[in-house]
Structure 1
Amino acid sequence: MYKNGLRYGSCTAIVLLTHTIMLLAVLLRGNYDTPQDILPLTVAVIGLDIVYSIVLHFMYRQMTYTLDFVLLLLVNISVIFQSCFGGVGFAAKHYITCVIALVMCQIGFLLTRNHVWIKSNKLILYGILGAFILSILVLTGSRSMWINIGPISIQPSEFMKPVFVLICATSIREQHEKKKILFFYISKEMMILTGAFVVIVGLQWWCRDLGSLPTFAAAYGCALVCRLCYPKAKFSKKTIIVISIIGAVLVAAALKFAPGYVQDRLSVDIWNQMEGNGYQQCKALIAIAEGGLFGKGPGCGSLHKVFASDTDIVFSTICEEWGFLVALLAILILMAMMLLPMINKPRSYFHTTMILGCVAVMIVQMGLNIFGSCNLIPFTGVTIPFISQGGSSMITSGFLAGMLKAGQSPVFKKPEPKKKKLKTRKAVTAA
C-alpha cells in the first residue's frame, strides 16, 4: 500500500485508463490509413504499462511508489505524442529511450538514496564532472557540445547536470567549518563548488551553447540558498546583499558581452523576420493558435515539417495536434512528478538540497522551452524533460527522476547494536 492510501492496482488502472483514452483519441481523430497502423503503438504502450507495474511490485520495497507511476504515465503519454507527429505511426527510437529512462530512474534511485556513501565518494563526482568536460573539449572535434559516433550523437553536457546537482548536495555538512575572511564566513567546499560552476560557465561560453547554462545556474542557486539557510550556518544581511549585487552585475555583463547570435535572439522582431531568425517562433505561435483548445487531431498538424518540432518546440507541436488543454495537462503531470518529493518531506538536509537541485533543473528546462516557443523569451533550444525527443536528455531526466525518488525513500547508516555497547562497558569496568 502507498503512503497516501493508493494501491498498486488502483494506480495501474489510472495509468492504463489514461493511455487507453489517448489511444482512442488517436483512433477516432488521428491521421492514418488503416486501423492496423495504430496496433504497434497500442501494444507498446499498454505492454509497458503492465510490465513496468509488475516489475515495480516485485523489485524492492520503498516508502512510496507514486512517483514511479506518475513517471510511467508521463513517458507513455510522450510516446503517444511523438508517434503522431506528421501522421500516426510508432516512434520506436523514442520508445526505446523512454524505456532506458525508466531503467535510469531505478539506477539513480539506488545510487543516490544513501547520502553517507555519496559524501564519502564526492571526489569521484568531481572526477566524473572533469571527465565529461574533458570529453567535450577533446572528442567533439570543434567548439560544439555534441560527440558524434556514426549515427549516434551524445551530449555530455546533459550528463553533467545530475553530477553537478550531487556535488551541490555533498558539502552541506561542511557549513560547520566556515572561516571568516574579511567580512564574510566562507567554507572551502563552497569555494570549490563555485570554481566548478565557473568552469562550466566558461565551457558553455566557449562552445557557443548558452541554452543549457540557466539549468546549471539554477542548481547552483539552489545550493547557495540551502547553504545560507542551513540551521547552523553563519550569515548576515551583508552576505545576501553582496551576493545579490554580484549576481545582478554578472547578469548585466553577460547580456552586454553576449556573443552575436545571442544578441540577435534578444533583439529580433520575429514577425519582420518570418523567413529568417524568427522562422521557428513564428511557426510555433501560428501552430498554437491553429490548434486551439482541442487541436487539429493526432497527426493532422503541419509543424512537424519545421526543424526541431519534436524537441525544441515540441510544446507548440502538441498544442497544434492535441490542443492547448492536453498540452497543459502533460505539463501539469510533469510538475506533479516534481512536487511529489516535496509533499513527502525529505528526511535529510542532503536529500532536500538534492531534490531542490533536480526540480530547479527540470523546471528551468521546461520553462525555457515553453516560453521560448510562445515567444515570451528568446529561443534557447532546450528540451522539455520526458516530452521532447532526445537520447542524452531522456537518460539524464530519468536519472534525475531517480534522485527525486531517492529523496522520498532515503537510506541512513544503521546504528550499532545495543548489545555491543553493553559488552564494551563491561570490559572497561573489569579492567
Structure 2
Amino acid sequence: MYKNGLFYGGCTAIVLLTHGIMLLAILLRGNYDAVQDLLPLTVAVLGLDIVYSIVLRLFYRQMTYTSDFMLLLLLNISVIFQSCFGGVGFSVKHYATCILALILCQVGFLLTRNHLWVQSKKKILYIILGVLILSILLLTGKRSMWINIGPISIQPSEFMKPVFVLLCATSIREQHEKKKVLFFYVSKETMILTAAFVVIVGLQWWCRDLGSLPTFAAAYGCALVCRLCYPKAKFSKKTVIVISVLGAALVALAIRFAPGYVQDRLSVDIWNQMEGNGYQQCKALIAIAEGGLFGKGPGCGSLYRVFASDTDIVFSTICEEWGFLVALLAILILMSMMLLPMINKPRSYFHTTMILGVVAVMIVQMGLNIFGSCNLIPFTGVTIPFISQGGSSMITSGFLAGMLKAGQSPVFRKLEQKTKKKPRRKVAAA
C-alpha cells in the first residue's frame, strides 16, 4: 500500500469525502446560528485528515495502512458526532483526546510489533498491573474506580485492559511444558494468569464496577482457548468440559449473589419506572424511535440533557440526531477495523492471541453499550471505543488499536544477548 501512491491517495480521498459529506449534512440540516459557527469544526476535522495522512506517508513505513485510515475515519466521525449534541459547535476536549488516541496508536504499534521483546518484559507487565491495582485501592477513595485530580478524572481500570491482553498473549510457548496435577495438565504460566484474572474480578466486585468485568472475562476466555489449543500443548477434552462447567457455575453464582443495584437492573421494568431505575433506558429508546432512519438533524436532539448521553448511551444520542443508518455505519466501520487483522492472518501465535484479546475487549464493550441502550440487556454503563466521550477510555482504545495494527505488520528480531568482554591478557615483552 505504501508503494502504490494512487491507492494511498485514494484512501485519503475516501476519508476526506466521508467527513466532507457529514459536514455538508450539518450545513443543510444542523442546528446552528451562523455559518461561521461551522468553521472551527470543519478546519479541525479536514485539517487532521490531511496532516495525519502526510505524517503516515513521510514517517511510517509498514506493511499496511488500512487500520490507520479506518481509525482516522472513525475518530473524526466521532468528533463530528460529539460536536453536535444539543447544538452544533466544536468539542475541543474530545478532539484533543482523539489526537492523543492517534499518537497512542503508533506507540502501541511500535511497542508490540516484536513478540520476543514483549515476552522479555513479562515481569514488567505484571508489575504495571500490580501498580494499577494498588492505585485503585489507595488513590480512588472508598470503593471507587476513579482518581480525581482537580478537574481531571482518571480511570486506572481502563489502562489495565491492554496490559492484561498482553499478559494473555505472552507465555504461549510454555504450553508444551504442562505438568499433570491431579487429573489435569496445567502450566505455571496459565495458573499465574488465572490468579491475576481472579484478582481483577475481586477488585471490580469490591469497587462495584461490574460493567467492565465482561471485557476482562472475554480477553481471559480468548487467551484460555488459545492456550488449550496451542499446537504443541497437550489438549484435553476433559479440561475443556470442566472449565466450561466451572464457568457456567460461576456465572450463575455471580447473578445469584450480585449486589442489590445489579439485581434491580436485572429485574427492572423500565416502563413502570420511567422516573427511577429505567429512566436512562426509556429516554434512550424514545430517542432511537424519534430519530428513525435519518435522524432529527445534527444538534436537533434532546437526549443530550440526559446524564451520560455522550458516553454510556451515546448510540441512542447518535440515532436521535443522525439516524439509525448513520449510527449503524459508524459501528460497521469500527467492526471492520477490528476484523481486518483477523482476515490478514497474523504470522505468529503471539499476535494471533493478542488480536483476539483486543477484538474481544472492543466487541464486548461495544455490545454492552448498544444492547444496554436498546434495553436488550441490563444497563451496564460502558463506553463505545473511539465514539464515546472519555479520556481514559480513548487513550486505552488508541493503544489497543496500535496492538491491532502490530498484528498486521509484525517484526521478528532476535534479542541481543549482552556478553561480557573478556579482559585482554598482557603479553610480556621479550
TM-score category of the 2 structures, normalised to the smaller one: over 0.9
1:168 aligns to what? 168
Query: What is the alpha-carbon distance in structure 1 between the residues aligned to residue 221 and residue 34 of structure 2?
Result: 52
Query: What is the alpha-carbon distance in structure 2 between the residues aligned to residue 91 and residue 161 of structure 1?
Result: 26
- The alpha-carbon deviation at position 415 of structure 1 amounts to 10
Query: What is the alpha-carbon distance in structure 2 between the residues aligned to residue 110 and residue 397 of structure 1?
Result: 15
For residues 100-179 of structure 1, the aligned pairs below 5 Å read 100-179=100-179
Which AA in structure 1 matches 2:52? Y
- The alpha-carbon deviation at position 409 of structure 1 amounts to 0.6
CA shift in 2, pair 1:150/1:28, >3 Å? same
- The alpha-carbon deviation at position 60 of structure 1 amounts to 2.1
Query: What is the alpha-carbon distance in structure 2 between the residues aligned to residue 3 and residue 205 of structure 1?
Result: 51
Percent identity between matched residues is: 88
TM-score of the pair, normalised by structure 1? 0.95
For residues 206-355 of structure 1, the aligned pairs below 5 Å read 206-355=206-355
- The alpha-carbon deviation at position 91 of structure 1 amounts to 0.3
2:79 aligns to what? 79
Secondary structure of 2:211 counterpart: coil
CA contact (8 A) 1:3 1:64 kept: no
Query: What is the alpha-carbon distance in structure 1 between the residues aligned to residue 290 and residue 319 of structure 2?
Result: 9
- The alpha-carbon deviation at position 413 of structure 1 amounts to 1.9
Query: What is the alpha-carbon distance in structure 2 between the residues aligned to residue 240 and residue 176 of structure 1?
Result: 17
2:426 aligns to what? none
2:41 aligns to what? 41
Judge which range, 299-308 or 225-234, deviates more.
225-234
- The alpha-carbon deviation at position 133 of structure 1 amounts to 0.2
Query: What is the alpha-carbon distance in structure 2 between the residues aligned to residue 161 and residue 325 of structure 1?
Result: 31
Aligned residues: 416
- The alpha-carbon deviation at position 236 of structure 1 amounts to 1.7
1:379 aligns to what? 379
CA contact (8 A) 1:102 1:398 kept: yes
For residues 1-12 of structure 1, the aligned pairs below 5 Å read 1=1, 7-12=7-12
**What runs of 5+ residues in structure 1 fail to find an aligned partner?**
417-431
CA contact (8 A) 2:108 2:401 kept: yes
Aligned CA RMSD, in angstroms, stands at 1.3
1:388 aligns to what? 388
2:428 aligns to what? none
CA shift in 2, pair 1:5/1:246, >3 Å? farther
- The alpha-carbon deviation at position 58 of structure 1 amounts to 1.0
CA shift in 2, pair 1:6/1:241, >3 Å? farther
Deviations 1:129-151 (A, max 9, x none): 00000000000121100000000
Query: What is the alpha-carbon distance in structure 2 between the residues aligned to residue 415 and residue 139 of structure 1?
Result: 37
- The alpha-carbon deviation at position 350 of structure 1 amounts to 0.1
Query: What is the alpha-carbon distance in structure 2 between the residues aligned to residue 379 and residue 338 of structure 1?
Result: 24
Superposed structure 1 runs of 4+ greater than 6 Å apart: 3-6
2:427 aligns to what? none
Secondary structure of 2:210 counterpart: coil
- The alpha-carbon deviation at position 183 of structure 1 amounts to 1.2
Query: What is the alpha-carbon distance in structure 2 between the residues aligned to residue 243 and residue 381 of structure 1?
Result: 29
- The alpha-carbon deviation at position 61 of structure 1 amounts to 1.0
Which AA in structure 1 matches 2:330? A
1:361 aligns to what? 361
Query: What is the alpha-carbon distance in structure 1 between the residues aligned to residue 53 and residue 66 of structure 2?
Result: 11
Deviations 1:197-236 (A, max 9, x none): 0000000000011000000000000000001111111122
CA contact (8 A) 1:303 1:309 kept: yes
Which AA in structure 2 matches 1:48? L
